Structure 1
Amino acid sequence: MKVLLYFEGEKMLAKSGIGRALDHQKRALSEVGIEYTLDADCTDYDILHINTYGINSHSMVNKARKMGKKVIYHAHSTEEDFRNSFIGSNQISPLVKKYLVSLYSKADYLITPTPYSKDLLEGYGIKVPISSISNGIDLNRFEYSEEKENAFREYFKIKENQKVIICVGLYFERKGIIDFVELARKFPEYRFIWFGHTPMYSIPRKIRTIVKEDHPMNVEFPGYIKGDIIEGAYSAADLFFFPSYEETEGIVILEALASKQQVLVRDIPVYKGWLEDKVNCYMGKNNEEFDYLIKSLVQENLPNTCQAGYKVAQEKSIGRIGYELKEVYEKVLKTGDSKQNKQVYLEN
């Protein structure tokens, strides 16, 4: 078995959760002994496992169909998580949904990160078989390291006993960036650090203004940082606060859980079945609840859920994900001929 992992715009998306998902797929396939290639010109593969939905991705699907290859689409994106992101995203989201349905329906099989996103896709009327498989997490990368924690503290000049709350995400309203800043105003004694970056030209003015100037002194936007500093931040911070309104999974949550960090998230449907309030994380519905929870968790007035959270990360380790991907690949190869593109594909 040989798999072509295709990822359009890899450099542009490398800083996103989808970019990390590709890295995890490569690791997962290697761990279970499945040969893969990233070469889009390769022709001796058995399955096209495609992660993106740009114009080139559309062409790759058609090309694979003409060669009679099996196609698995990794459905990272939905209309719901496209909204409240880039400039004009809400206006064109119905068109994005229509395009996604058209593209996903050409696959032999769909993989999506959570049961929640699987339900969304089935609700679109897609008839292709769908499995929910987590994007996974590299547990070794987020093991405790005093050296990494020191790198984080030195980089940000964290003072002794200073409380630090972090979030990791793109500069999207959907991610809860407005709430993150508003809550920071209520805790001037804490440092709030939002890791991540999105090109300013692509996001609405009100979000640009928040990031550039309209935030209190205790909020920092250092941009995209990788390696020891961010990995040290995950474990050294006092709280990982992720107020996102919509996700298909949220790799950054898995990273925080793998770091044995205390996690606080918004109570939204995507976490059903794997995150549980007051068991392996804490959940809030609005800023009033977040206000209470942030103060209580940072001051350690509520039971710690870090160990239970780490068990969630263990269940989604890259090794386990590799076997789940392998099972889907084998299932697809055992089915009959791949979807024929009918005459329409041959004419394109």
Structure 2
Amino acid sequence: MKIAIFTDTYFPDMNGVARTLKRLADYLAEHHISCKIFAPKTPSDYVADNLHQFTSLSLFLYPECRMAFPNLNQVKTELESFSPDLIHVATPFNIGLCGSYFAKKMNIPLVGSYHTDFDKYLKYYNLQFLSKYLWRYMTWFHSPFQKLFVPSMETLNQLQQRGFSNLELWGRGVDCSLFHPDYNKLSGRMRYKAGNKLLFTYAGRLAPEKDLNTLMNVAASLPESINEQFQWLIVGDGPQREELEAQAPENMVFTGYLKGERLAEVYSISDVFVFPSPTETFGNVVLEAMASGTPVVCANSGGVKHLVKDGVTGFLCEPGNPESFEEALIKLINTPSLLHTMGREGRNFALTQKWDTILESLVLSYRGAAEAGEEIRYA
């Protein structure tokens, strides 16, 4: 089987979509399934034999993603040469449109995946008036797909209510050999000058849709009597970083983006992972923290609420309510035994979320869609 993937973000971009697709591409290669990826050219030097890149510019609202300008003649030539059994469109922008166009034009079975709730982003950029137009476009864009893979039941239910069809769950796994609790706590804490303090960590894009205002309000409102007992670690980058650093308390450290073992080490040495984002379709960072044996305090919203078992692996808090997050953190501070039991339960859950099992199921769905497409083509 040969798969062509069209996406407007790909490795080494630092977002969940890019990382998920790189994991998928690696899995396909390991199982001798040919894969060709069409993606924007980025400022990085990353190249791969199966990666076809196009000139691109950063998106205004989302600089980490890029608006590409695919050369249609090149795409057609590449597809004719590769002769894919299936096209997978992962994003609804220019390259995604290109993939959908050629699937129809060349009569190639077409599937897609839904990764981002752009509608939820709108209010954080004062663009709510675009919501109905966005949904019209998203409904039109996804209507030709034989299958539309979604990352969580929350997203599946939401899209069903919007009239989307052919939905299928494609969850996410976690590499528990990379993300684990056993990194050297002493050296990690020395690196970030945390000492013996409790370490509260956030990891993700520093942007309005992550609702970091709630996190900053929590940091400012925790009682002064306990401020010396903990330190904040903010992992990531984005358009809000400068603003956040300007208002940050003295016990808050910004690291920029981390990846690989350095990121895994941070999860491992942290006492609590704090994640206020209400806009996640899944929440990869939450699962990574749980795999690292770290309790999670997060918004009871989106795909995240299906990962965290309230009171068992962490606490689900009212979105946008600093008092709810503050209450959960104080409970953990005052009950150290909870940190250990929740961390252990989170790790046990993460161990069941295996990438190989999840991607094997996706490939079976690919085969079903490709075979169904062949039957239609020759009917």
TM-score by length of 2: 0.78
1:243–1:338 CA distance, 2 compared to 1 (3 A): farther
SS of 1:146's equivalent in the other structure is: coil
- Which whole-Å deviations, capped at 9, do the CAs of 1:192-237 have from their partners, x for residues lacking one? 1221112x3xxxxxx5663241222222332212233221110101
Structure 1 segment 285-324 matched on structure 2, within 5 A = 285=318, 286-301=321-336, 303=338, 304-324=341-361
TM-fit CA distance, 1:273 = 4.5
Is 2:119–2:134's contact at 8 Å kept on the other side of the alignment?
no
Match in the other structure for 2:140:
102
Alignment of 1:1-348 (within 5 A): 1-10=1-10, 14-30=13-29, 33-38=32-37, 39-40=51-52, 41-42=78-79, 43-85=82-124, 87-127=125-165, 129-147=166-184, 149=185, 152-159=188-195, 161-187=196-222, 188-189=227-228, 190-198=230-238, 200=239, 207=240, 210-285=243-318, 286-301=321-336, 303=338, 304-337=341-374
The one-letter code of the counterpart of 1:152 is G
The share of aligned pairs that are identical, in percent, is: 22
Aligned partners of 1:122, 1:231: CA distance in 2, in Å?
A: 35
Distance 1:272 1:181 in 2: 22
Taking CA–CA contacts closer than 8 Å with sequence separation of 6 or more, which of the two structures ends up with the larger relative contact order?
1
Alpha carbons 1:50, 1:57 under 8 Å: kept: yes
In structure 2, what is the Cα distance between the partners aligned to 1:184 and 1:153?
20
**Equivalent residues of 2:148, 2:168 under 8 A apart:** yes
Q: Per the alignment, do residues 217 and 273 of structure 1 end up closer, same or farther by CA in structure 2, a change over 3 Å counting?
A: closer
The 1:181/1:313 distance shift into structure 2, 3 A limit, reads same
One-letter code of the match for 1:109?
K
Residues 150, 91 of structure 1: CA spacing in aligned structure 2 closer, same or farther, 3 A cutoff?
farther
Taking a change above 3 Å as real, the CA distance of residues 292 and 52 of structure 1, as seen in their structure-2 partners, is same
Q: What amino acid maps onto 2:329 in structure 1?
A: I
Shift of 1:261: 1.0
Identify which range, 234-243 or 185-194, moves more after superposition. 185-194
Describe the shift of the 1:338–1:67 C-alpha distance in structure 2 as closer, same or farther (beyond 3 A). Answer: farther
1:57-114 Cα offsets, whole Å, 9 max, x none, are: 20121012211111111110234443345x4543434333222222111211100100
Structure 2 residues without counterparts, runs of 5 or longer = 38-50, 53-77
Offset at residue 339 of structure 1 (A): 8.3
By how many angstroms is 1:158 displaced? 2.3
Deviations 1:242-281 (A, max 9, x none): 1112210111011111111111112225345443211222
- Distance (Å, rounded) in 2 between the aligned partners of 1:283 and 1:17: 21
Task: Work out the CA distance in 2 between the residues paired with 1:335 and 1:307.
Answer: 44
The more displaced of 110-119 and 1-10 is: 1-10
Task: Describe the SS at the equivalent of 2:308.
Answer: coil
2:234 is matched by which residue type in structure 1? W
Counterpart of 1:203 in structure 2 is none
Give the gaps of 5 or more residues in structure 1. 201-206, 341-348
Number of matched residues?
Answer: 328
1:177 alignment partner AA: L
Tell me the distance in 1 between the aligned counterparts of 2:117 and 2:138. Answer: 8
Matches of 2:231 and 2:6, distance apart in 1: 40
Asked if structure 1 preserves the Cα contact closer than 8 Å seen for 2:282 and 2:302, the reply is: no
Change (3 A) 1:35 1:284: same
RMSD: 2.5
TM-score, length-scaled by structure 1: 0.85
Separation of aligned partners in 1, 2:271 and 2:27: 31
- Asked if the contact 2:151/2:303 (under 8 Å) is kept, the reply is no
